[in-house]
């Protein structure tokens, strides 16, 4: 994997932004996959995945809460070129007490 662009910025005390573009060797690990989850458990609010022939085309979009590094995550891969964008909380979730760890 070769990183082409890597950008990180702290937006606030607990929120971070990451943007990366990288190139990886094309691998064919799946013929196709489609997943859609909406309010599927306590942490996933929205999750969408579409994959065609491994790293020929892969698209992920997720919005989650009440979990480690909760936030919005977007990934797009076309012919081995991957674009990744995240805005997330840098804290970890305390599952026993149902609150953020300090």
Q: Which domain holds residue 47?
A: 2-100
pLDDT digits (tens, 9 = 90+) for 56-77: 899 999 999 888 899 999 999 9
- In 10 A of CB 71, how many CB atoms? 18
| Mean pLDDT, range 11-34, rounded to an integer | 88
pLDDT digits (tens, 9 = 90+) for 82-91: 999 999 999 9
Q: How many residues does the chain have?
A: 102
The residues, any chain, with a CB within 8 Å of residue 32's CB and separated by 6 or more, are 51, 52, 53
The residues, any chain, with a CB within 8 Å of residue 13's CB and separated by 6 or more, are none
pLDDT at 60: 94
Predicted model pTM = 0.81
pLDDT digits (tens, 9 = 90+) for 5-16: 999 999 999 999
Q: What's the domain count of the chain?
A: 1
């Amino acid at each position: 994997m070769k990183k082409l662009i890597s950008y990180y910025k702290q937006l606030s005390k607990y929120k971070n932004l990451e943007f990366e573009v990288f190139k990886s060797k094309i691998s064919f690990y799946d013929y196709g996959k489609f997943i859609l989850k909406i309010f599927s458990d306590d942490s996933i609010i929205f999750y969408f995945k579409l994959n065609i022939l491994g790293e020929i085309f892969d698209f992920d979009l997720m919005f989650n809460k009440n979990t480690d590094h909760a936030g919005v995550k977007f990934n797009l891969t076309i012919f081995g070129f991957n674009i990744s964008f995240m805005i997330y909380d840098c804290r970890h979730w305390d599952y026993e007490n149902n609150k953020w760890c300090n």
